[in-house]
Amino acid sequence: MTNAYSQAKPLFKMRQQMAEGTVTTPSSKTVVPSNDFKKTKITGDFISEGVAVADLNKDGKLDIVAGYYWFEAPNWTRHEMAPSRLFDPRKEYSNSFLNLGMDVNQDGWDDVVVVDFPGLPGFWFENPKNQAGQWKKHILADSVGIANESPGFIDIDGDGRLDILCGDKAKKQIVWLKAPSKPGETEWKRFALSQENVPGTEIFSHGIGYGDVNKDGFNDVVIREGWFEGTADKTSGNWVFHPANLGEPCSHMQVLDVNGDGKNDVVSASAHALGVWWHEQVADEQGKIDFKTHLMSNTTAQTHSSIMADLNGDGQKDYITGKRFLAHHGRDPGDSEAPILMWFEFTPGQAPYYKEHVIDNDSGAGLNIVAQDMNGDRKPDVVVANKNGVYLFENRLKR
């Protein structure tokens, strides 16, 4: 699909040399977990590579959702929303790539949004309000085939409701699916940001994000081939594309000012090869926005999801990523290595700009990660689901 694997070879070679002691670089890191997180194995079954949290039975406790299943807090009793099965992590994909918990129809009961295999329409399961039986499945807007492998759950129009930022594989357009905004509404509406036939919209595209690149007050869309300049109108379909080099195929792209120079940079992680990078915003000779890529980490490969959350309570959002365990069933470089879950602590304006911490080395991450307070201590906890199972990590970091 891409030449990501060939691009990754020099990095693997470098790490091999590091292991042999012939090369040392500052990016060489220990992979011993920090013990700052309490791990709970919800299940070792492969049921989903997406995960969500929501209070599905309205008992005041957040439950964990993974695909067609949910696990009831506090004992994580498994329930099925609709008929499904366990999948074989070495042979197949599941029917659930990314998940989101939200009250879609605003009836007071949290529902579950599921992004299916890339290119297929997403759907949501309507909460049956503690009644027995299957959850009703609703297809998301206009059967848009969600092309990008890391669509974003982002509030695009600022109405307080999370929407979905993605590529539409049919029209090859950057679009967003607006969450229903009125109680009782069930339809998600498709709005185009870019024109048709733009980069980053092919099926299996890797890398998309949202943030204000040029600091004009409007968020822009970043893809690895460049950025679409945002305007006040989120329905115009004419956001201008500016080509720029934002590195290799990647998962969710995070827009933040890493080096504290007032210009927003982009952090990305390789979806199927090796590398976590920050792309420093610079100006080229004509004064146009360009990016200079810096390697942050080569601790683990297949970092197929990321999320930002302030884990240590210092007021700065941290970057969380992990290895997509058996991403392609064991055919990728580094697949036999430990499935690591990790976070990066940013200290803008000071060197070093980031510090790497390992949360765990036998879980990894799937296609999306949840960072949310699960136990009421006001610190974000981390929840993941992938071919290795479903895991909760309770945050015990000291402030």
Q: Give the binding site for Ca ion (CB under 5 A).
A: 103, 105, 107, 109, 111, 127, 155, 157, 159, 161, 163, 212, 214, 216, 218, 220, 230, 257, 259, 261, 263, 265
Specify the pairing of strand 306-309 against strand 318-322.
Answer: antiparallel
Do residues 150 and 204 lie in contact, with contact meaning Cβ atoms separated by under 8 Å?
no
**CB-wise, 59 or 212, nearer to Ca ion?**
212
Do residues 53 and 63 lie in contact, with contact meaning Cβ atoms separated by under 8 Å?
yes
**CB-wise, 88 or 212, nearer to Ca ion?**
212
Do residues 363 and 391 lie in contact, with contact meaning Cβ atoms separated by under 8 Å?
yes
> What is the chain's percent helix, strand, coil content, to nearest 5?
5, 40, 55
Do residues 103 and 111 lie in contact, with contact meaning Cβ atoms separated by under 8 Å?
yes
Rounded to the nearest whole angstrom, what is the least distance from the CB of residue 216 to Ca ion in the complex? 4
Rounded to the nearest whole angstrom, what is the least distance from the CB of residue 106 to Ca ion in the complex? 7
**CB-wise, 189 or 263, nearer to Ca ion?**
263
Contacts 24+ apart (CB under 8 A), 154-163: 154/210, 156/210, 156/219, 156/234, 157/234, 161/102, 162/100, 162/102, 163/188
Rounded to the nearest whole angstrom, what is the least distance from the CB of residue 111 to Ca ion in the complex? 4
**CB-wise, 32 or 232, nearer to Ca ion?**
232
Rounded to the nearest whole angstrom, what is the least distance from the CB of residue 35 to Ca ion in the complex? 32
**What distance in Å separates the CA atoms of residue 390 and residue 94, rounded to the nearest whole number?**
14
**What distance in Å separates the CA atoms of residue 326 and residue 117, rounded to the nearest whole number?**
16
**CB-wise, 105 or 305, nearer to Ca ion?**
105
Rounded to the nearest whole angstrom, what is the least distance from the CB of residue 137 to Ca ion in the complex? 14
**CB-wise, 149 or 280, nearer to Ca ion?**
280
Rounded to the nearest whole angstrom, what is the least distance from the CB of residue 247 to Ca ion in the complex? 15
Residue ranges in 205-261 assigned as alpha helix (H): none
